[in-house]
Amino acid sequence: MIYVLFPDVSDVFIALIGMAAALYVVMYMLMFAAVIVLRKKEPNIERGYKVPAVNIVSGIGFISCALAFIMSFVPTTNEAAIPRNMYPIIVAIVVFLLGIPPFIFYAFKKISWDMRTAQEKEEKPIH
C-alpha cells in the first residue's frame, strides 16, 4: 500500500526495513527487561546457563536497543520520496499499528487456550 503513495520504490523499501527493525528492537527491549525482572522475582530457579552480571549485560542491551529504536525515527539522508518531517510520524504510526494486535489477542484470550494442568494453574496464576 505504501508503494502506491510514494514514487521511489527503493526509498520506500529502505523505510520499511527501518520500520521492521524498530519493531524487532521493541521485542528485544522487552526481552532484556524480562530477564532483569525474572532474575529478581525467581533468583533460585535452576537454569541451563546463568549469565554472569546479568543486570549489567541486560542493561547495556536494553540501552543499546533503546538508542537503536530512537534512531529508527531518523530518516536517511538520501530518502527523497518520503518527506523528512513526515518520516518519524509514518514510522510511529506503523510501529503503533503493528504493535496493537498482541494486546488485542491478550484482551480476547479464551480460557481454553490455557494448556497448563490444574496444579500449575494453582501454583502460578496468569494475571
| Confidence category of residue 126, pLDDT binned at 50, 70, 90 | low
Alpha helical stretches, state H, the chain: 2-5, 9-41, 54-71, 87-107, 118-123
Q: For the whole model, what pTM was predicted?
A: 0.75
Residue 127: pLDDT above 60? Answer: no
Q: Residue with C-alpha cell 480460557?
A: 111
The answer to whether 6 touches 73, Cβ cutoff 8 Å, is no
Q: What is the mean pLDDT of residues 28-55?
A: 90
In the chain, domain spans: 2-101
115: which residues sit within 8 A by CB, 6+ positions away?
A: none
| Confidence category of residue 13, pLDDT binned at 50, 70, 90 | confident
Arithmetic mean of pLDDT over the chain:
85
Residue 35: pLDDT above 90? Answer: yes
Residue-wise pLDDT for 76-102, tens only, equals: 776 667 778 888 898 899 899 988 998
Q: Which three cell numbers stand for residue 72?
A: 529508527
